[in-house]
Amino acid sequence: MTIEIKVPTLPESVADATVAKWYKKAGERVKRDEPLVDLETDKVMLEVPAPANGVLNKIIVAEKTTVKAGVVLAVLEEGAEAPAKAEVKAEKAEKVEKAEKVEKAPKVEESAELSPAVRRLIAEHNIDVRQIKATGKGGRVTKEDIENYLAAKPAPAAAAPAAPIPAGERTEKRVPMSRLRARIAERLVEVQHQAAILTSFNEVNMSAVAELRQLYKDRFEKMHGVRLGFMSFFVKAVIEALKRFPVVNASIDGNDIIYHNYYDIGIAVGGGPRGLVVPVIRDADAMSMADIEKAIRQYADKVQNNKITLEELTGGTFTITNGGVYGSMLSTPIINPPQSAILGMHKITDRPVVENGQVVVRPMMYLAISYDHRLIDGSEAVQFLVVIKELLEDPSRLLLQI
């Protein structure tokens, strides 16, 4: 039975896709649900699996081709066996004669009985022995005859000095920008043109959170099957701050302001084959810290294995990005449109701070909030960041919601 492999129905707002990579070649056997081809869209990579066991009879659409939903990509012969490979012939193919003829020195007649030294000189200098005056016994060409002939020839003109060779290679590599990277670039430039972006900073003493993690991390992992990280603390603190400042959770649509009464928090995740993406934790306010950690772990695994879906990247009312995992001390994150703000976390570093008139060393982190000043006033952004700082420096307030 012949089965057509078609481009699946594309997600809403995605017009077409590009054939990124074929995992099988025509004539190869495939198994059911085995990946056949990757389709790259503006937002995610779609994997098309084999619908049944069989042989990939024909590939119709080559890589780098743009396709729309429903287009036939290949033909699968269900239940067929892959053809045996042709045996390699033992006999070698005849060598093709070279097009260009190589000029050779005239052969010396065997009757000349030339000595080995004379033969070597003739071969080295490509000499026509008929031009040499022989002085040896019986008309033989001697070594002295060759040397005299070479000495009498005019010296060749001096060659121009060779250009200096560079110390190292200077190479360039040009590769096409992926659809996702092109779309990211387009959206980032778009938000820079449309939004009035401003960034405010603060710092937070992470001692209390670090001590809490150290005290309960083993019990937490044993009970919930996931490690207790910093991100769940930040998600909980952000949600509480968003409840106090709803405008930070809002977005602009034309001349209207849309206030969201739910909290879908985007978490920037990097390190996968497609670079940085922002999966969304839906209704994060209704989740426990363990649920948040599990969701982040699952998203990280999907990103690493290129299994993230468009639905998991769509929406979001607020985003958190953590440049600290890469060593960033301070940055100004860019808003993820149509959202109006984004929180930037950074590296935790031991620094001297003043507490009760004493200089002590504490694990400190810089925080940054970039926000759209068209919607959010500076005072609201600063107070929003202060709330996060206070909640993290006294995590018990997260439980009491004070």
| The pLDDT value given to residue 355 | 92
Q: Is there a single domain that holds both residue 183 and residue 66?
A: no
User: pLDDT for 226-278, tens place per residue?
Assistant: 999 999 999 999 999 999 999 999 999 989 999 999 999 999 987 665 667 89
State the residue for tokens 């599990």.
Answer: 294
* Radius of gyration for the chain, computed over Cα atoms and rounded to the nearest angstrom: 37
**Could you give the C-alpha distances from 369 to 189, 259, 363, 383, 386, in angstroms and in order?**
19, 19, 20, 11, 11
Arithmetic mean of pLDDT, 37-47: 80
Task: Give one DSSP letter per residue of 338-350, joined into a string.
Answer: TBSEEEEE---EE
- Chosen domain end from 59, 78, 97: 78
Give Cβ neighbours of residue 111 (< 8 Å, ≥ 6 apart).
none
d(CA 185, CA 269): 17
In a domain, 28, yes or no: yes
Select from 28, 30, 74 the least CA-distant residue to 52. 30
Q: Does the residue 92 lie in any domain?
A: no
Of 235, 244, 237, the residue nearest 267 (C-alpha): 235
60, 78, 96 - which closes a domain:
78
Q: Do both 64 and 188 map to the same domain?
A: no
pLDDT > 70 in the chain, percent: 84
Q: Are residues 61 and 200 in the same domain?
A: no
- The two tokens of residue 132 are 């040499």
For residues 237 and 380, state if they share a domain.
yes
Which tokens is 68 given?
């729309």
User: What is the per-residue pLDDT for 238?
Assistant: 97
Q: Calculate mean pLDDT across residues 47-64.
A: 88
> What local confidence, expressed as pLDDT, does residue 106 receive?
42
Taking only the tens place, the pLDDT of each residue in 167-225 is 667 889 888 877 777 777 887 788 888 889 999 999 999 999 999 999 999 999 999 99
Report the distance separating Cα 251 and Cα 191, nearest Å: 13
Kindly report the average pLDDT of the chain as a whole number. 83
Does residue 361 share a domain with residue 218? yes
Q: Are 216 and 340 within one domain?
A: yes
pLDDT at 34 over 70: yes
How far apart are alpha carbons 317 and 278 in whole angstroms?
12
- The reply to whether 348 and 219 lie within a common domain is yes
Single residue among 78, 104, 127 that ends a domain in this structure: 78
Q: What percent of the chain has pLDDT over 90?
A: 42
CATH of the domain at 65: 2.40.50.100
Integer Cα distance of 366 and 328 in angstroms: 10
Dihedral (CA of 325, 326, 331, 334) sign: negative
> Is 373 known to be catalytic?
yes
As for how many domains the chain has, the answer is 2
CATH code where residue 364 lies: 3.30.559.10
User: Distance between CA 197 and CA 344 in Å, rounded?
Assistant: 14
Q: Which one from 38, 283, 377, 394 is the annotated catalytic residue? A: 377
Contact call for residues 258 and 250 (beta carbons, < 8 A): yes
Euclidean distance between the first and the last CA atom of the chain, given in angstroms as a whole number: 66
Query: If you average pLDDT over residues 19-23, what whole number do you get?
Result: 88
Q: Which residue has the tokens 């099957």?
A: 225
pLDDT at 190: 82
Look at residue 162 in the predicted model and tell me its pLDDT.
60
pLDDT band with cut points at 50, 70 and 90 for residue 79: confident
Residues 195 and 341 in one domain: yes
Of 144-153, 352-361, 388-397, the poorest mean pLDDT is in: 144-153
Look at residue 164 and tell me if it is in a domain: no
Residue 265 parent element (H or E): strand 265-267
Mean pLDDT to the nearest integer, 345-354: 96
pLDDT of amino acid 167: 62
> Does some domain include residue 105?
no
User: Is 251 among the domain residues?
Assistant: yes
Q: Per the domain annotation, does 128 fall within a domain?
A: no
Q: Considering only CA atoms, which of 283, 289, 27, 123 is closest in space to residue 297?
A: 289
Assigned domain for 95 exists:
no
Coil, strand, or helix at residue 201? strand
Residue with tokens 């490690």: 227
Residue with the bigger pLDDT between 373 and 398: it is 373
Domain contains 285: yes
Candidates 193, 253, 373, 394; catalytic one: 373
Q: Which domain holds residue 224?
A: 179-400
